[in-house]
Structure 1
Amino acid sequence: MTVKEVPEIAGALLFVPTPYADERGFFCRTFDAEAVRAAGLDPDAFVQDSVSRSVGGVLRGLHLRSGRGEAKLVRCSYGEVFDVVVDLRPDSPTHRNVATFELSGETQVTLYVPAGCAHGFQALTPTADVSYRIDRPHDPTEDVTIAFDDPELAVPWPLPPTGVSRRDREAPSLAEVLKQREV
């Protein structure tokens, strides 16, 4: 497993495994505590695993947590997604940068999203499963959502959205969220 820094988002990392494929399919290590530790992260800090399944064109995000935020490891375990990270950490050298990735079940690449960054994705295949490993239990009172179609962010979503939750459809702009966070 190799680790690559994401230049657009300070502290974001890609964990790139080596799937072993043959006529039966493949085998792949998707989490390695030593690789995580060598990248400067505490592998024991991740306390909750979750998975979402989306149908093609479904868009989820952009989401983040208030308070001390939430760091997460994100991997498309089946299918393919267009993944987005927005750096909203005020003291970050990459503040307000947007980075996009294609994550897939074929490569099993894991993206580390630092706390304080917004995250979202769109399913590119008829079915896409996204696995999350999160560094603290979910608390819905800390959920923050930013409009996925905010013109300031100009995220280049590859498909017209075929499904968006009410929460995501009604999300405020980045400017509104930042104004609320200043209070």
Structure 2
Amino acid sequence: MHVETTSLAGVFVLRPELHRDPRGFFTRTFDAGVFDAQTGPDGVRTANFVQDSQSRSSKGVVRGMHGRAGRGEAKLVRCSRGAVYDVLVDIRAQSPTFGMTQAFILDDEGFRHLFVPPGFLHGFQVLSEFADVCYRIDREHDQAEDLAVAHDDPVLGIDWPLPVTLISERDAAAGSWAELLATLR
């Protein structure tokens, strides 16, 4: 498994090695030793993960932009089937990359995993006919800590690659980046 850094402080990509043969392929989708070595003794550890979740969405659907207040939420995200355009926004006020966004393609060909430390908004758009996205999360969900910013907020200026076909009622009611900034202060 290889580790790639990103332009966002604390975010990294795990790239599993695929071993192909006439039967198909084999890959290790997670390696605790590699993960723990990357996060270091004071970071999120493998043992901190308490929940695995999975979503399935169809082409053009956007889920996001979601985050958590309080201590935030670390997650390890991968697309187990299909392809998604995955976007992060740094909402950590003291971070050198505060307010910056970065997008990643996650798919079932490269099996890249995206580690998202606490303090980020996260969202994705499905690029394939449908996609399954898997999340490994370090905290139990507490609805009272949910944060959301509109996927089409003009200040964030996220350039979704496809026309948006569907968002949830919750995401349609999400506030602006400016409103989130006011709550973070």
Q: What is the TM-score with the length of structure 2 in the denominator? A: 0.95
Match of 1:5 in 2: 5
Tell me how far 1:180 sits from its aligned partner. Answer: 2.3
The one-character-per-residue Cα deviations of 1:140-182 (angstroms, maximum 9, x if unpaired) are 1111110100111110100111110011111110101111232
Match of 1:39 in 2: 38
Paired AA for residue 46 in structure 2: P
List runs of 5+ in structure 1 lacking aligned partners. none
Distance in 2, matches of 1:26 and 1:104, equals: 15
Match of 1:166 in 2: 169
Match of 1:71 in 2: 74
Among residues 74, 96, 100, which one is paired with 1:97 in the alignment?
A: 100
Distance in 1, matches of 2:104 and 2:140, equals: 26
The one-character-per-residue Cα deviations of 1:53-102 (angstroms, maximum 9, x if unpaired) are 01111100000001110000000010000000000000000000000000
Distance in 2, matches of 1:42 and 1:180, equals: 29
Distance in 1, matches of 2:85 and 2:2, equals: 21
Match of 2:136 in 1: 133
Distance in 2, matches of 1:124 and 1:23, equals: 28
Distance in 2, matches of 1:137 and 1:44, equals: 14
Tell me how far 1:37 sits from its aligned partner. Answer: 1.1
Distance in 2, matches of 1:28 and 1:162, equals: 33
Paired AA for residue 152 in structure 1: V
Tell me how far 1:114 sits from its aligned partner. Answer: 1.0
User: What is the DSSP-based 3-state SS (H/G/I as helix, E as strand, rest coil) of the residue aligned with 2:178?
Assistant: helix
Distance in 1, matches of 2:2 and 2:157, equals: 31
List runs of 5+ in structure 2 lacking aligned partners. none
Distance in 1, matches of 2:123 and 2:141, equals: 16
Number of corresponding residues: 181
- CA RMSD in angstroms, aligned pairs only: 0.9
Distance in 2, matches of 1:96 and 1:52, equals: 26
Paired AA for residue 84 in structure 1: V
Identity %: 51
The structure 1 segments of at least 4 consecutive aligned residues displaced by more than 6 Å after TM superposition are none
Among residues 150, 153, 156, which one is paired with 2:156 in the alignment?
A: 153
Distance in 2, matches of 1:117 and 1:70, equals: 8
Paired AA for residue 59 in structure 1: V
